[in-house]
Amino acid sequence: GINAEYMGGLASVDATVHGSLASTYGVQGYPTIKVFGLNKKKPTEYSGGRTADAIISAALSEAKSMVNERLSGKKSGGAKKEKAEKKEEKSDSDVVTLTGDNFQAEVLDSKDLWLVEFYAPWCGHCKNLKPEWEKAATELKGQVKVGAVDATVHSELAGKYGVRGYPTIKVFLPGEKSGNGDPEDYSGPREASGIVGYAMQKLDDAGLGPDVTQAVSSAELDACFTKKVCVVSVLPHISDGGAKARNDYLEVVRGAAKKLRSKPFGFYWMEAGSQQSFENTLGLTYGFPALVAMNKDKMKFTSHTGPFDTKAIVSTLNAMKATGTLKALPTLVTTEPWDGKDWVESADEL
């Protein structure tokens, strides 16, 4: 006989009352019967006869299988393998795994823009979205946070946000968040480029346009090279046109950065003459302002030769036709950042 310890029970759920629970398990028609065997997180579909004898027979067969698997130790081994696989899978992902335990700290206590997917492992549409979601997360890294919640495990969290189907994507806007974060429903594209474009537009709407950072040490250049393409503008010395001219140049570069923000470009700038080694390596010895785009993976660079305006720069960066090869990655010496003021001659220069 079968030990009663391993015997289960029969239960029913009114799916019209507990719609969220039914949705969690993919119930689309009635009656639907699920068998919760050894792995309670992954019930199987019952497709046997609908007579008492058939149901009892199926239940006894499942119970017997559970007994055999537990006695053979398969449960613990399988669980360890599953956990190891999940851990390995997560390690290569830029998608943040969100749970009921970390959701408050990761999402609600942050000022970042978050795109959060609520999914079910068995959901076909979720499986189709996954590679696009992963790709979008990688492209948005450092600008927008992308997360995912397994709603079948964290059903209380899913219920809190009214999740009734999968995948459901919620948008938590940048800035201080109160209460449940008051998220918006995402209704944009489901391919990576569209997801990235949607997120970038949300940043624009919030007045968080792309920045162009001054490179005053190798630390900034290293940060720039975390992007697929590192774009550096070399602007004239502050004595050449003053603060107004420099700010006008920076506005041109910001305009290009904004138009290309859905692409993996990093934008930085430096003052001409402040980084002689860098300028010599890239052949930027005259004709400022100048702009160069470097691809670290290919060790190639492209020099912008057209007019220094947003349209022309965007055209150059979209084409990315290599004009030179990098024998080694350039380095920078540490300099003082610009204070935003006009140039003042020193006593020695008077």
- In one-letter notation, the amino acid at residue 254 is R
Residue 224 falls in the annotated catalytic set: no
CA distance 186 to 176: 20
Residue 125 falls in the annotated catalytic set: yes
Residue 126 falls in the annotated catalytic set: yes
Question: Which residue out of 124, 162, 242, 306 is catalytically annotated?
Answer: 124
The region that residue 241 occupies, defined by phi over 0 for left and psi between -120 and 50 for alpha, beta otherwise, is: left
Question: Which residue out of 8, 19, 125, 283 is catalytically annotated?
Answer: 125
Instruction: Kindly indicate the confidence band of residue 6, based on its pLDDT and cuts at 50, 70 and 90.
Output: very low
The region that residue 73 occupies, defined by phi over 0 for left and psi between -120 and 50 for alpha, beta otherwise, is: left
Query: 83-111 pLDDT, tens per residue?
Result: 444 443 445 789 999 999 999 999 999 99
Other beta carbons within 10 angstroms of residue 86's beta carbon come to 11
Query: 206-259 pLDDT, tens per residue?
Result: 888 778 999 999 999 999 998 899 999 999 999 999 999 999 999 999 999 988
Residue 123 falls in the annotated catalytic set: yes
Question: Which residue out of 123, 188, 209, 241 is catalytically annotated?
Answer: 123
Residue 154 has pLDDT above 80, yes or no: yes
Residue 175 has pLDDT above 70, yes or no: yes
Residue 67 has pLDDT above 90, yes or no: no
Other beta carbons within 10 angstroms of residue 56's beta carbon come to 11
Residue 125 has pLDDT above 70, yes or no: yes
Q: Which residues contact 208 (CB under 8 A, 6 or more apart)?
A: 113, 174
pTM of the model as a whole:
0.53
CA distances from 216 to 140, 269, 288, 333 (A): 25, 9, 18, 7
CA distance 216 to 335: 5
At residue 281, the 3 state secondary structure works out as helix
Query: 33-48 pLDDT, tens per residue?
Result: 888 877 777 787 777 7
